């Protein structure tokens, strides 16, 4: 029975991964592939080179942010090591649904002699900064860009309010340090997030370190969190500029602000764990957004293809870094 259960679970995971490919197939049916090929043939290769050159800078900024959080926890890891580990995390994250492979960084920190509790705080906060800042940038750019459409503004504002409430709750937790100690409700909620949603093997390892997780979380300095937020803004700005370079190379007439808004939505959608590297989900989102902007779906697919090429180069960098700093596939699984 156990073997059958595992087999079914395996099939379910792979079926979920195939949803992205199914969505991609539906998108490709609705566009002219020949037109997409013509757009790609006219792409200026210099813009791809420039986009790839920006990859280490983006990863470097995020590595600095991660090191900053860990330093405040008393975790001393060299910046070059943070940079290399982060590259591996990006590589594993891109080949796993919903980019959950980023958690592999926990194992590297553990190998340096620190507990799972300490490692988990830095990785969770690092990921949280990216997600919340992405929502923030997406909200601001979309509100400005869609100022002419009240219905879309209402929808965006509603989503923004929900995110704002979540951010205020998190800020309150950080500012009132004793809240994590005195308020059992918040402590229990964190425990559920900390333990319940984790993979079974990691759950066992982290359960014993929950007190350390809470201690490190409430002792983080607010100045460090604000500095991390500013670094994250810079990292995302360069990330969107990287995509803007690809759009210029393809001859797509779109403003930087509009591209930030549309790619923010597309990136958020890729967090749904139904595809690998966002293939399918990102394409469908871009086609819909480009259509609203009066741009052809073929241009959206061409941009998505060029973006995937940059991702491939990023993953190759991460892969070669992983060869230099290997972690067993058993741990990754």
Q: CA–CA separation, 54 vs 151, rounded Å?
A: 36
Q: Does the pLDDT value for residue 189 go beyond 70?
A: no
For residue 6, being part of any structural domain is answered with no
For residue 124, being part of any structural domain is answered with yes
Query: pLDDT tens for residues 227-277?
Result: 888 999 999 999 999 999 999 999 998 888 888 888 888 888 777 766 676
For residue 13, being part of any structural domain is answered with no
Number of domains within the chain: 1
* Domain carrying residue 115: 20-332
For residue 12, being part of any structural domain is answered with no
Closest CA to 45 of 317, 322, 310, 324: 310
User: Which residues in the chain belong to E strands, given as ranges?
Assistant: none
Residue 110: exposed, middle, or buried by beta-carbon count in 10 A (0-12, 13-18, 19+)?
middle
For residue 2, being part of any structural domain is answered with no
What pTM did the predictor assign? 0.77
For residue 4, being part of any structural domain is answered with no
For residue 155, being part of any structural domain is answered with yes
Query: pLDDT tens for residues 10-60?
Result: 455 556 566 767 777 777 788 888 888 998 988 999 999 999 999 999 999
For residue 148, being part of any structural domain is answered with yes
């Amino acid at each position: 029975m156990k073997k059958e259960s595992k087999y079914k679970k395996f099939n379910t995971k792979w079926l979920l991964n195939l949803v992205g490919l199914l969505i991609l197939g539906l998108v490709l049916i609705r566009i002219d592939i020949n037109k997409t090929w013509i757009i790609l043939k006219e792409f200026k290769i210099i813009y791809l080179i420039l986009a790839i050159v920006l990859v280490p800078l983006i990863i470097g900024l995020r590595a600095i942010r991660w090191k900053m959080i860990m330093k405040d926890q008393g975790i001393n890891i060299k910046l070059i090591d943070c940079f290399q580990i982060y590259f591996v995390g990006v590589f594993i994250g891109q080949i796993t649904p919903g980019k959950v492979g980023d958690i592999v960084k926990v194992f590297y920190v553990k190998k340096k002699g620190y507990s799972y509790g300490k490692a988990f705080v830095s990785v969770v906060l690092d990921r949280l900064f990216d997600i919340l800042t992405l929502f923030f940038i997406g909200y601001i750019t979309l509100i400005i860009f869609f100022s002419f459409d009240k219905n879309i503004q209402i929808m965006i504002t509603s989503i923004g309010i929900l995110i704002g409430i979540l951010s205020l709750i998190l800020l309150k937790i950080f500012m009132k340090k004793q809240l994590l100690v005195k308020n059992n409700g918040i402590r229990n909620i964190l425990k559920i997030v900390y333990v319940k949603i984790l993979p079974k093997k990691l759950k066992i390892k982290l359960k014993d370190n929950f007190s350390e997780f809470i201690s490190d979380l409430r002792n983080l300095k607010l100045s460090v969190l604000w500095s991390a937020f500013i670094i994250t803004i810079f990292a995302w700005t360069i990330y969107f500029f990287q995509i803007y370079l690809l759009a210029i190379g393809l001859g797509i007439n779109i403003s930087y602000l509009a591209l930030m808004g549309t790619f923010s939505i597309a990136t958020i959608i890729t967090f749904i764990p139904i595809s690998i590297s966002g293939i399918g989900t990102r394409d469908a989102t871009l086609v819909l957004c480009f259509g609203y902007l009066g741009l052809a779906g073929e241009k959206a697919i061409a941009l998505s293809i060029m973006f995937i090429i940059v991702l491939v180069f990023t993953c190759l960098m991460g892969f070669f870094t992983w060869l230099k700093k290997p972690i067993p596939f058993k741990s990754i699984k």
